[in-house]
Amino acid sequence: MFYHACARFEAVLLGVLLAISNRHSATAAESLAATHDDTIPCADLPGSENVVVITRVFSGTQDPTFKLSAAEALAMSGTALTTEPLPSTYLMGFRGFELHFPANCSTSQQQWSSKFFVHPISRHSSLTLAKSASNRGYLSSSVTQHILERTGCLESALCVAGRNTVSRASSPHAGRTDVLRTSCKHARAPIVGPDAWNQTLYDPTQDDCGFFVAHQSENNCYNYANNVATDSFAQPGRGTGHKWEENTCESVKDAAARDGLKWMGSDLPSLSEGPADGHYVALYIWPNTNFHWARMDYDVKTVAGRAMRWSHKPGGTEVRDVDNDGKAILDPSTANLSPWSQFCGYMKSVPSHVKIN
C-alpha cells in the first residue's frame, strides 16, 4: 500500500514539474519544429552509443559520463524526458541525468532539442539509467547506492526538508543587477580574488569578476574555496604537477598543500577575525568517491562578534551559503553536506600565492 501511495505521489509530483518545464519549452519546440523537417525518429538512428548521458552528481570532479544508443536512451527514459532541468531536491549529490541526443533526430515527444533531462523524482527512469551505467562500469557502487537512496525517499522527512531547501535557495542570485567594476570588462581567467580575509565576501555576482556565475560550469568547489577562477574545474595538486590520487582526507589535503594551501587542523577557526593573510577553507570527503570544499566569508552584518560564515559551490552549480537543510553554515563540521559526510578539517588559502589549475 505504501509503495502504491509513493508511486501515485511520484506521478503527481512529476506531472507538476514536467508541466512547469514544458510550459517554458513549448514555444521553443514549436519554432524549432519548422526547421527540422529532415529529422528522423531518434529510435531509428543507425549505429550505437550515439547519446551522451551525464550523471549530475559530483562536486570536486567532472560528472560521470557514459553513452547509450538512442533507442536504449529513449526506452530507459520513457516519458520522464524534459527539455529543461528541474529544481533539485537537494543542493548536494544526485541532481538527475542529462542526455545529449544527435541533432538530426526527434524524440517520440516531438520536442526538437538535442539536450534532455531526467529528474531524480522520476524513480524508475533514474534507477534504470543508473543500473545501466553501473553495469557498464561508469558508476561506482557508492554512487549507484546514493542514487537509489535519493530517488527512493520521496516522502521521508529528509526529502521534505530538501524540497523546502530548494524553495529557499534554488536561485540565490536572482534579481541582482550589479554592474561589474571597470577592471572586469575584458577579464580573462585566471581571476584571482583578494588576499584580505575581510574582503572575501559572499557576493557571487561580483566575486572574481562574476566568473562563478557567468562561468559557472567551468569552476568548481576548489576554485570557489580558493577564490581563484581558472575555468578549468581545478583539481587539488594539478597546478603544481601532482594531482590527488585517492578520495581521502589525507590525499586531497596533501595535494592542496602542494598547491600552497596550509593545513590548520580540525578546530573551528575564530568567528570574530580572520588570519593575517588569506582566508580559511574546509574540506569534505564523500568516502572513496568525491571531495568538496567550502569557504569562510566575511559577514558584513556582524552579529554578536561573529564576522564569519561559510559558502560553497557544488561542482558546476550555483554558489550557496546554506547546507542541505537550508541552514546557514556557521560550523562546517556540523553542516549537512551529505553525501560528503566526512569532515576533514581546515586549511588556509592566500589567493595570490596558491597555484591551482
Write a three-state SS string for 190-219. Answer: CEECCCCHHHCECCCCCHHHHHHHHCHHHC
- Average pLDDT over the chain reads 81
pLDDT of residue 162 exceeding 60, the answer is no
What pLDDT is attached to residue 123? 86
What pLDDT is attached to residue 174? 44
Q: What is the pLDDT of residues 66-117, one digit of tens each?
A: 999 888 898 898 778 888 876 666 789 999 999 998 877 766 554 546 888 9
What pLDDT is attached to residue 111? 52
Nearest to 236 by CA among 357, 62, 353, 59: 357
Neighbouring residues of 136: CB distance < 8 A, sequence distance ≥ 6: 66
Q: How far apart are CA 147 and CA 53, in angstroms?
A: 15
Q: How far apart are CA 245 and CA 37, in angstroms?
A: 50
Q: For residue 201, which amino acid is it?
A: L
Q: For residue 40, which amino acid is it?
A: I
pLDDT of residue 31 exceeding 60, the answer is no
What pLDDT is attached to residue 29? 35
Q: Which residue has the higher pLDDT, 184 or 194?
A: 194
Q: What is the pLDDT of residues 16-25, one digit of tens each?
A: 444 444 444 3
Q: For residue 56, which amino acid is it?
A: R
Q: How far apart are CA 168 and CA 283, in angstroms?
A: 25
Q: Look up residue 180 and give its DSSP letter.
A: P
Backbone angles phi, psi at 176, to 5 degrees: -75, 130
- Residues paired with 100 in a beta bridge: 52, 115
The answer to whether residues 247 and 340 touch, using CB atoms and an 8 Å cutoff, is: no
Question: Residue written as cell 544508443?
Answer: 69
- Residues paired with 312 in a beta bridge: 294, 320
Q: Rounded to 5 degrees, what angle do the CA atoms 180, 185, 189 make?
A: 100
C-alpha count within 13 angstroms, C-beta hemisphere, residue 115: 6
User: How much is the average pLDDT of 132-144?
Assistant: 95
* C-alpha cell recorded at residue 282: 574546509
Q: Which residue has the higher pLDDT, 305 or 23?
A: 305
What pLDDT is attached to residue 102? 83
Burial 70-88 (b: 16+ CB within 10 A, else e): bbbbbebbeebbbbbebeb
Neighbouring residues of 145: CB distance < 8 A, sequence distance ≥ 6: none
Neighbouring residues of 12: CB distance < 8 A, sequence distance ≥ 6: none
What pLDDT is attached to residue 325? 84
Backbone angles phi, psi at 266, to 5 degrees: -105, 0
Q: Which residue has the higher pLDDT, 58 or 3?
A: 58
User: How much is the average pLDDT of 269-284?
Assistant: 88
pLDDT of residue 49 exceeding 60, the answer is yes
Q: What is the pLDDT of residues 198-215, one digit of tens each?
A: 899 998 988 899 999 999
Which of 185-189, 255-259, 317-321 shows the lowest mean pLDDT across its residues? Answer: 185-189
Q: How far apart are CA 254 and CA 242, in angstroms?
A: 10
Backbone angles phi, psi at 90, to 5 degrees: -130, 160
The answer to whether residues 228 and 192 touch, using CB atoms and an 8 Å cutoff, is: yes
pLDDT of residue 26 exceeding 70, the answer is no
The answer to whether residues 288 and 261 touch, using CB atoms and an 8 Å cutoff, is: no
pLDDT of residue 12 exceeding 70, the answer is no
* C-alpha cell recorded at residue 304: 554578536
What pLDDT is attached to residue 80? 84
pLDDT of residue 307 exceeding 80, the answer is no
Question: Residue written as cell 507538476?
Answer: 16
